[in-house]
Every structure is written in structure tokens, then in C-alpha cells.
Amino acid sequence: MCINMVLFLAFMTGSLSAQIIDPAKRTEREAERRTNKNIDKGIRKGFDEIEKGIGGLFKKDKSKTENSKSGEEDPVAGNREETSSESKKSGPALSWAKYDFVPGDAVIFEDNLQNEENGEFPSRWDLVRGNTEIAKVDGENVIMMREGAPSIVPYLKDPQEDYLPDIFTIELDLYYPSDGWFEIYLYDRKNQRSNSPTGYTYLQIYHDQFLMSEARSKHPDTNLTKNRWMHIALAYTDGKFKAYMDDTRLINIPHLDFNPSGLTFYTYHARNNNLYYIKNVRIAKGGVKFYDRVMQEGKIIVNGIRFDVNKATLKPESMGAINEIYNLMKENPDLKFSVEGHTDSQGDDAFNMKLSEERANTVMNTLIKMGISADRLAAKGWGESKPISNNASPEDMANNRRVEFVKM
């Protein structure tokens, strides 16, 4: 017991000694702490002054920006690419600055799905694979691609031959559902072989972007949704390829590495709960520039100006051709046109005459609103009285539904 008690007392004495603080050392540490505190305070004050200086620099830049907005000259404004919102301030002519698509002037294939029977395979197409049928959406016939990775090609005579000319356009309305992508091949996958060295012969379409070979481009409108209709337009001119979604050009390839020879629509992602729809398919052969046409023939025939069915309401895709006419008249101030509407032979004669007059007036008034003087334009409707084709096929009727700009 005595030895244990001695050890305990020794331990307690050591612990107490360790907790006693030397006053001299305590004074030294406190002085060091206060000195460091004053140094930190000085450093913070210095950084505060630096931040004030930087803030002053940004304040100057902000005032310059505000002055620019208030009307003072912005030195880089003239070098900026014009946006849709900026172009709208300048008027309708510039609001379609990124939509320079003009359809070919001779229709070589068109399918508006008239007289098709619901549930049957579309009569003007051939099946490569999968399941494709005619359906009715919002009261209108559509091609429905639904199961088995569906793929279709136009049903044409001699499809193994190259049926796309050196200058052509392709248009369609596509309903994009909630998932996947849609592909447009520029050769007939049932009857032809690809001539591309890389194998990239297709345009891949998403709800807000295009992809073709190494070219990928998103639509500038970030609010685009899925489950919607979109207008797709393709233009090919001796190697140069452009692709448009609605009113905007997304792809611009100067030299394709293959020769487009046919057309195939395909989607791996179609399912009964993810249906893709197609309508208003048109392939047209390109032609002479508007200026050369009016100089050679005294008129310009345009079948790319489209209207709602049995109405005089312009469709947005019409603006590419109308902008071309606007630019032509702006660059040639002595040029005057009679805007003349024509229809196919379907329907009542009197109704077609009235409809053609209303459509001609719509186009004329659109050009006037864009800035063309009213005394340089007139409007007239001819109904179905002046066909340029015999109305025996969908292509004939498409060529007869046209607007002509006749030099006055």
C-alpha cells in the first residue's frame, strides 16, 4: 500500500506541474497573437483597397455598356453576327436571315397522302424493313413509323438508277416523339449501294439538332420541345449540302464526299409508345437563279410558296422564296411584278379562282410589308385555268399549284 501511495502522489504532482503556465511565456505568446492580429488587419485592409480599385474598373466598363445601350456608338456592333431578335427589329425581311432555302422549281416526287386508306402501307413507298402504315393524326393522313426499326424508300420506276439530279431539294414534315432520332439517307437502301468512302450518307435528326458526318449543329432556340412537328428541308447543289429545321439552317457542308443518288427514311427508335410521323414529302429539281429566269423568260415560276390547305395563309417555309424575290426587287429598283396565283384542278372552279386571287394578294401584301413599294406590285388569280402540267399525277398537280412573278 505504501509503495502504491507514493506512486500516486508522484503522478499527481507531475500532472499539476504540467498544467502550471510560465507567466513569461504567456506574455510572449499574447504579444505574438496581437501582433499577428494587427498584421492580418493590415493585409485585409490592403486587399479591400485592391478590390475597390478592381470594382472601379468594372464600374467603368458597365457605364460604357450602358452608354452603348442608350444610343452611343458601340465599336464592335458592326462586326457582330445578326441574331433573330436583332433582325426582327429591322423588319420581316431580315427575320429569316438564317433561312435561305428555296425549293427546286420542278417537282419530281410528291406524296401528300391523299386517298390513302387508314391502316394500309403507303402506296407511293416501298418497304425496306419494319412496320410502317397510314394513320390519321388530327384528321390528316400521315405515314406512321411504328415498330421493327422501320425504313422506307420512294416507290419509283428504275429505283436502282440515280434518281436525284445534280441540283435538288427534299422537304418533309416530321413529327418527333419523346425519344431517339430519325435518319434521312441520301441513297436508296433497298435498291442502291452507298458510294461514300466513309459510309456517312445520312442526316441524323433530333428534336433540337442535326448531325451529319462530322457536322453537328444545335438549333439556337433552346426552348424547342419534343413531341412536336418540324419542317425539314435539304438542299444539294453540285456537292454543296444544306439542311434546315423549321426556319433555321443548321448544316452547311461545302463538299460532300459522295454523290446523293436516292432517298431512305429510317428510325431505329420507333415503337408503339414512341411513334414517328411523316407527311408532305417532296423532291424537286433545282433550276436557274431568279434574276436569270426573269431576264430570260420574263417571269419567275415559284412552287415553293406554300399555303394552308384551301386557305391563303402562308406557311413559314414560304419565306425563303419570298425573301429571294424581295432581295431581287431591292437590288433592281426598276423591276415590277404582277404576282399571279394558280391552283391545280381539284375542287370547284369558282372556289379555285377566288383562292388563287387571295393567295396572290397575300404574297403581294407580304412584300409590301417588307418594304417593297406598292406601285411596283399587282396581284391576279388564274385558278386552274393555266396549268403547266396535265394534273395526271401528284407531281403534276404540285407543279400547277404555284405563284408566278410576271415582269410588268
User: Cell 478590390 maps to which residue?
Assistant: 51
Grid cell locating 307 = 399555303
Does residue 350 contact residue 393 with C-beta atoms inside 8 Å?
no
pLDDT at 146 over 60: yes
Grid cell locating 30 = 499574447
Closest CA to 231 of 277, 171, 276: 171
**Phi and psi, residue 113, nearest 5°:** 65, 25
pLDDT at 71 over 90: no
When pLDDT is averaged across residues 78-92 and rounded to a whole number, the result is 40
Q: Where are the beta strands (DSSP E) in 51-122?
A: 106-111
- % of the chain beyond a pLDDT of 90: 57
User: Cell 423532291 maps to which residue?
Assistant: 283
d(CA 257, CA 196): 6
* Amino acid 289: pLDDT: 72
d(CA 291, CA 119): 46
Tell me the CA end-to-end span of the chain in Å, nearest whole number: 132
Phi and psi based region of residue 161 (left: phi greater than 0; alpha: psi -120 to 50; beta: remaining):
beta
* Amino acid 199: pLDDT: 81
* Range of 1-10, 314-323, 372-381 with top mean pLDDT: 372-381
Range(s) within the chain of domains with CATH label 2.60.120.560: 106-286
Q: What is the DSSP string of 130-199?
A: EEEEEEEETTEEEEEEEEEEEEEEE--SSTTS--S-SEEEEEEEEEE-SSS-EEEESS-TTT-----SS-
pLDDT at 302 over 90: no
The 3-state DSSP class for residue 212 equals: strand
127 vs 104 pLDDT, higher one: 127
d(CA 116, CA 145): 16
* Amino acid 33: pLDDT: 55
Amino acid making up residue 392: A
When pLDDT is averaged across residues 348-372 and rounded to a whole number, the result is 95
d(CA 143, CA 107): 20
* Amino acid 180: pLDDT: 96
Residue 274 burial (CB < 10 Å; 0-12/13-18/19+)?
Answer: middle
pLDDT at 371 over 70: yes
When pLDDT is averaged across residues 130-149 and rounded to a whole number, the result is 96
Does residue 61 contact residue 284 with C-beta atoms inside 8 Å?
no
* Range of 23-37, 251-265, 277-291 with top mean pLDDT: 251-265
The 3-state DSSP class for residue 350 equals: helix
* Amino acid 392: pLDDT: 85
* Amino acid 163: pLDDT: 96
pLDDT at 15 over 80: no
When pLDDT is averaged across residues 233-251 and rounded to a whole number, the result is 92
Going from the C-alpha of 123 to that of each of 152, 154, 265, the distances in angstroms are 11, 9, 15
* Amino acid 317: pLDDT: 82
The 3-state DSSP class for residue 210 equals: strand
* Amino acid 297: pLDDT: 83
**In the structure, what pLDDT confidence band is assigned to residue 98 with cuts at 50, 70 and 90?**
low
The 3-state DSSP class for residue 362 equals: helix
> From the centroid of its chain, how far is CA 145?
22
* Amino acid 32: pLDDT: 53
HSE-CB at 268 with a 13 A cutoff on CA atoms is 4
Going from the C-alpha of 41 to that of each of 33, 37, 50, 323, 397, the distances in angstroms are 12, 6, 14, 67, 86
d(CA 292, CA 294): 6
The 3-state DSSP class for residue 104 equals: coil
Amino acid making up residue 141: N
pLDDT at 90 over 60: no
Range(s) within the chain of domains with CATH label 3.30.1330.60: 82-98+288-408
Does residue 105 contact residue 286 with C-beta atoms inside 8 Å?
yes
Residues in the chain: 408
To the question of domain 82-98+288-408 being in CATH 3.30.1330.60, the answer is yes
206-234 pLDDT tens trace: 999 999 987 899 999 999 999 999 999 99
What CATH number matches the domain at 106-286, 2.60.120.560, 1.10.1280.10, 3.40.250.10, 2.40.30.10? Answer: 2.60.120.560
**In the structure, what pLDDT confidence band is assigned to residue 241 with cuts at 50, 70 and 90?**
very high
Mean pLDDT of the chain: 81
Neighbour-count burial for 311-322, b at 16+ CB within 10 Å, e otherwise: ebebeebbbbbb
d(CA 370, CA 320): 13
When pLDDT is averaged across residues 170-192 and rounded to a whole number, the result is 97
Phi and psi based region of residue 347 (left: phi greater than 0; alpha: psi -120 to 50; beta: remaining):
left
The 3-state DSSP class for residue 6 equals: helix
**In the structure, what pLDDT confidence band is assigned to residue 22 with cuts at 50, 70 and 90?**
low
The pTM of the full predicted model, rounded to 2 decimals, is 0.67
* Amino acid 28: pLDDT: 52
d(CA 170, CA 7): 102
When pLDDT is averaged across residues 116-135 and rounded to a whole number, the result is 97
When pLDDT is averaged across residues 295-316 and rounded to a whole number, the result is 87
* Range of 17-26, 65-74, 295-304 with top mean pLDDT: 295-304
333-350 pLDDT tens trace: 999 999 999 999 988 999
pLDDT at 260 over 80: yes
Grid cell locating 348 = 370547284
